[in-house]
Structure formats: structure tokens, C-alpha cells
Chains A and B, each alone.
Chain A
Amino acid sequence: MNLLSVKNLTVHTEQPSGSINILDNLSFGLEPGKSLGVVGESGCGKSMMAFSIMGLLPDNMIASGEIQFGGDLLSLPEKELCKIRGNRIGMVFQEPMTALNPVLPIGFQVAESLRLHKNLSRHQAQKQASKVLDRVGLPSQNFSRSLYPHQLSGGQRQRVVIAIAMVCKPELIIADEPTTALDVTIQEQILALISELVEEENMALILITHDLGVVAENTDLMLVMYAGRIVERGPTNKVFENLAHPYTRGLFASIPDSENPEAVQGLQSEFSPKNRLSTIPGRVPEFWELSKGCAFYGRCSRAQAKCSSEFPDEIRLTLGHSAACFFPFEQNQ
């Protein structure tokens, strides 16, 4: 039974030049206790997807389709959405400094959603908030609950943001680039903390990132997005075993890696001569440049005439693993 199921989610916006699809026919499901990684470059729509689920889309964006979360979130009135947001779905934002209110103490900010959603008294809420802050690694003897965000470091602030997301024990956590602003050593701690908490409470997790390494180490399932569409999906280990979509491959090959380049299926050597990184030629198309064909058409090494006129359906490769490509890479190719 899916906790969250998204069906044909399309988000479009009206521009003077016409209607633009920011997200195009997204469908996926997520079971409780599972973690889903969403990878893609900036502008591919991964944050918009998170905002649609949270009902936080900017006013000029219009969503259609269905987001089932015990009821269709898209058709819920704002008042009902407010009861779900922060209560049954928690969100961890990218920039902890902008996500926190600079003029309120951290204890208050964590307690806020408890008072709102759980009808706790100020005192009870503060007490429970303090426990959650203990849990995320900010014990009260070292970190007073009356500290302000600017008195904390980036990693500590992100812990506070996580505490806010977790405090109502939501069923789903959406983490939008939770560690992009942090150093690698802190990133590791924060990701470990998120995974640990999610496991403890059997929550579902959507982890949005541009870092393939983060997805590999922290998720069960993954989606790869490009220009508003899902181009590849599957269980994380299956996708990494056989990168099927040319975009996923290109993305992978352009990371200067790593411990042993050969482990990346000999990709580096396959793509690039002497010590140069392999690149994906061109750049991500702007939304108004998209035609009806495959969005990756102009940058793809395998593209043929068909790709420019038709959008490829998802082809199932192995159980659960599929790619939206007419000419996907096969196993060990």
C-alpha cells in the first residue's frame, strides 16, 4: 500500500509566450518506511515536485493530476492542507539560514508546530521540542533553547531544521538538498542523522539532491529527472548496476571520480580520452525551448530522428527499473 502516490502530476505556468510545462506527467509511488532519491540538475523541476506535494507552489504555477496522500492533496482546500503540512509531511529545506526565523529562539521555532498541530500548551510543547532537539544532537546542557539561529553553525542550524520537520512525527519527510550548503564531514553527519530518524520512526523519505553519491548511500529507490520529466527510475542498486538512460550515464561520467574509476563501469574511459572528464555537450534546455520530442535529444549521443519527434515512453528493463528512452543502454554494455 502506497503512502504517497503521485499520478500524472503536471505543473504549468502561463507566460506571455504561451504555456510552459515545468513538470510533465510525473507518476510515482512511495511506501511507508522507504526512501526515494530524486536526482537532477538545477532547473529540472525536482524542487517544484517537492513544492507541489507540500502545496507550496508559487501562485503563477498551476498543478494538475493527483497527489494521493490519504486523499488528493491537490484538491484539498488550503485550510486542510495546513493541517497536513508540518504535521503529516515534514520538510527539510536547503538553506538552513533562510528556513529559520532569525528573530525567534530555536526552542520556540521547534515548539511552534507542536502547539499548532498537537494543541499542546506552551510549556508542554517546549518540553517536547527540547527532547527532539536532544535527539538531533543539540543537548540542552550545551545548546540552550533560547539560542538564536545566528549563534549556531551551519550544521547545527540544519539540525534545528530537521528537528522542526520531525517534531510532529510525520509519515513523510521531504528533504530538498538538505546538505548542499554544508561541508562534506558535516554532510555525512546530517545524512546519517536523517536516515537514522527515518528508520526509527518508520517514516518515508524523499531525498532531493544533485549528488549521485548521496543518493547511492542513502536511498532505496531513485528517480532521475531531466527537464521536468522522469527519465529513469528504479531501486537504487539496480539503477547503479546498469545506468540505462544516456543522461544518467553522462551525469555519472562527468563526476571526476574517485576511488577507482573502473568501478564506474569503465565509464570514464568509454567517454573520454586522456585524463579529460567526459562531458555532456550543450546545456540543459530552458523550458520554452522544449519540443514534443525527448528533452535530451540535442545533447544525446544515441539520438536518432525518432527522438526529436516523439517522447519515449518508459521502457521496463528489469523488475522495477525503467528508463524513458528509445535506445537505452543494456546491461554491461
Chain B
Amino acid sequence: MKQEKTADSFLQIRNVVREYILPRKQLFTSANRFRALDGVSLTVNSGESFGIVGESGCGKSTLARTVMALETPQSGEVCFQGQILHLLKAEELRRARSGFQMIFQDPYGSLDPRQSVGQIVSEPLQLLGKLTPSRRQEQVADALENVGLSPNDAAKFPHEFSGGQRQRIAIARSLITRPALIVADEPVSALDVSVQAQVLNLMMDLRDRYGMAYLFISHDLSIVRHMTTKVAVMYAGRIVETGPTQVLFDHAQHPYTRALLESVPRPDPNRKKKKRKTLSMQNMLNSNLEIKREIGCTYALRCPLVEDKCRNIAPSLQNINMDSKAGNEKNSLSFDHKVACYKPFNTVVSI
């Protein structure tokens, strides 16, 4: 390896910026750029489940693709087990890929209908080469059993399986190289509620057995809360809040995180219509204004607490200094809790 190893890092994402060039509106003007990732940094430790939440278009899938080395960042770097991914040569990258695998969102789109399950699951092994067919078959059978399917299913084709089973096949495929990191991009959002739980349980069982890390991307806050130990909330290409899952969900600081948490419908009929009236008209005009690459906080357009400062200088991620009594007992936990906001909740609480 030509890169120098960075101190015991498993996955480090440092200041990643990924821009897409939009189609130009007029011939002689310069094309606009859309910044899908705007200086994202985060660290995932080995064996950790790290969640990323945010609305559609906030850049969470771009982040997943960048971690998978499917996108090259314009600046910044993704460092996996001491290797900076986008500096690797094609052949080196191919080798390295056995260490990180991906589960895609839609099990109907991610499995080739013309390949048998055996072919699908063994494809990562084939690309790594150097395995006899019989050995490969053994591993396929093993992987299928791991995800609760039968080794006989290897001869079948994807259309013979239900959505939940297909997602199991996709998990088997990602598992077969024994990766240290699995990037799961909305792994259950295409599944029915009762099947969702089966797949999530399977993912947790596998984690307990093999100790891989998950980068778990979802828009469903309750699932992320259940599955992960750390979480980052993204908004418009930036991380606005990050911390241990429990702490962040219980003591959300950023106004966006709070809005997100409050808008999740809960199975509690008594909660209904309490907040309704205020909500429906307010906010919605600015909520849909196009997000521009402005200098201030990206959330300023929708934020109820916005000040002049927010519009002019983007806040950076800061540790939260809990000065209240509640803070002291949580201190050890909230150490990692960071928020990018000038007016985090604990300072505004006294109304």
C-alpha cells in the first residue's frame, strides 16, 4: 500500500464535496452546479452501526455511493481501513471492494432477473477470482443459509421469491465476501411492514454473528433509532447534527432534527389534530424554494429561529456543552453529540 495508514481508522469520511453539473439554462452562461455533498465528515468505527437520516435529496444516497467508491469526490476523501479509496488503482480497488459491500433499496431492481440466485450471490466471489467452483458453491450455500433461505434456492430465479426473500438474497450477496462494512441504502423501504421487521432482525443477527459495521441509510427515523448506535442527520448536503442515537433522539438540538422527529406520525389517536392548524400553511412556501448554494446555513429558509447571522455564515458542527443539570449526568454520552446551529435547542429552551 502506498498510502500511509491513518491512526486506527476504520471508515473516515473527511470533508467530502460532491458536485453535479446541472444542464445549462442558456448557451453562453456557465452551468449551475448542485452540491449534493457539501463538506461531509464522519467517522465510523469497526463493528458500529451508523445511521444516516434525512429527507429525499439531502445527499444521503450520494454519500453511500461515495463510500462505495462509485462516486469520486471533488474534494475531501473517504478512507477505509487506511486506504484512500479514490486514489486506489482500478485493480487495487477491486480487491478492496471485498471489504465493503452494499445492499440496495429495491430488491426488484437490484437482482438480475436472468441470473439464478446462485449466480447472483456468487458474483462478488467470481470477481475476486481464485476459487474453485465447488468451493464457491459451498460458500453460496452457506450464505443462503445465513439469511434464512435454503441452499436449494440457488438454482431458482429471483421472480420465484417474494420481496422479503429477494432482499434476503441481496443480503446474502453482500455477505459472501465477509465484508467489514455493509452500506445499506434504505434496505427495507420497499418492503411491507410485517416483512420489514424480519429483514431488520436478520441484519441484526448477522451483525451479532460476524461483527461487521453498518452504514445504515434511511428516511425512517424509528428504524434508524432501532438499528443504530450512532446517527447523523443530513440536510441539503451537510450534516446538521450527529451523535449517539439515543442521545440525539432524546435531546435533539437542531431545529431540523426536531421538526423531523415531530413530523413522524405516531400510532396514537390522542395525538391527532393537536398541532394541525398551525402547521398546514406555515412553512410550506419556503419549504419548497429551490435550495441554492448560499453562504449561510442551508436550513435558514425553513428555520423558525432564523437570524441574520444564519443567513450569512454557515454554522459548523460544534460539540454541545450541556450547562444544565440534565447535562451533567449525560455528559459522558453527549461528548460526541454535535450540532451545526447557532441556536441549538438547549439554549432556547427557556421560553
Contact = CB atoms under 8 A, between A and B. Distances in A.
Interface residues of B, number: 44
A184 B272 contact: no
Contact of B267 (A155, A183, A193, A255): A255
B204 A276 contact: yes
A196 interface: yes
B197 A254 contact: yes
Contacts of A277: 197, 200-201, 226
A82 to B, nearest CB: 32
A213 interface: yes
A257 B276 CA distance: 22
B62 to A, nearest CB: 16
Nearest to B271: A217
A188 B263 contact: yes
Contact of B219 (A42, A184, A196, A236): A184
Interface in A233-260: 236-237, 240, 250-252, 254-259
Nearest to A271: B197
Nearest to B266: A213
A278 to B, nearest CB: 7
A211 interface: yes
Contact of A240 (B194, B223, B268, B287): B268
B198 interface: yes
A256 B284 contact: no
A264 B124 CA distance: 42
B91 interface: no
Interface stretch (A49-57, A102-110, A279-287): A279-287
B283 interface: yes
Most chain B CB neighbours (cut-off 10 Å) among A41, A240, A259: A259
Interface in A170-187: 183-187
A240 B269 CA distance: 7
Contacts of A139: 285
Please name the 7 residue pairs, one residue from A and one from B, whose CB atoms are nearest each other, closest first.
A213-B265, A256-B226, A254-B197, A192-B280, A277-B197, A183-B55, A188-B263
A142 B286 CA distance: 11
B272 A213 contact: no
Contacts of B283: 189
Given A187-B265, A211-B265, 18 more contacts: A137-B280, A153-B288, A183-B55, A184-B263, A184-B265, A189-B280, A213-B265, A214-B265, A218-B265, A237-B270, A240-B267, A255-B267, A256-B223, A258-B267, A277-B197, A283-B162, A283-B194, A284-B192
Contact of A137 (B265, B269, B284): B284
Interface residues of A, number: 52
Contacts of B264: 184, 213
B222 A257 contact: yes
B130 interface: no
Most chain A CB neighbours (cut-off 10 Å) among B192, B201, B267, B284: B267
B281 A137 contact: yes
A255 B285 contact: no
B201 A217 contact: no
Given A184-B219, A213-B266, A276-B201, A155 B196 contact: no
A286 to B, nearest CB: 9
A185 B286 CA distance: 13
Given A196-B280, A213-B265, A279 B55 contact: no
Contacts of B277: 196
Contacts of A156: 288
A196 B219 CA distance: 26
Contacts of B295: none
Contacts of A218: 265, 272
Contact of A184 (B198, B260, B280): B260
A139 B272 CA distance: 27
Nearest to B221: A184
Contacts of B162: 283
B201 A189 contact: no
Most chain A CB neighbours (cut-off 10 Å) among B200, B226, B259: B226
A1 interface: no
A275 interface: yes
Contact of A252 (B55, B267, B272): B267
Contacts of A280: 194, 197
B56 interface: yes
A41 B194 CA distance: 8
A263 interface: yes
Most chain A CB neighbours (cut-off 10 Å) among B227, B259, B287: B287
B263 A187 contact: yes
Nearest to A253: B197
Most chain B CB neighbours (cut-off 10 Å) among A185, A252, A258: A185
B193 A41 contact: yes
B225 interface: yes
B322 interface: no
Contacts of A251: 193-194
B192 A210 contact: yes
Interface string A25-69: 000000000000000011000000000000000000000000000
Most chain B CB neighbours (cut-off 10 Å) among A155, A250, A275, A283: A283
Contact of A255 (B222, B273, B284): B222
A264 B267 CA distance: 8
Contact of A188 (B56, B198, B222, B265): B265
Given A212-B267, A277-B226, A142 B285 contact: yes
B164 interface: yes
A185 B288 CA distance: 11
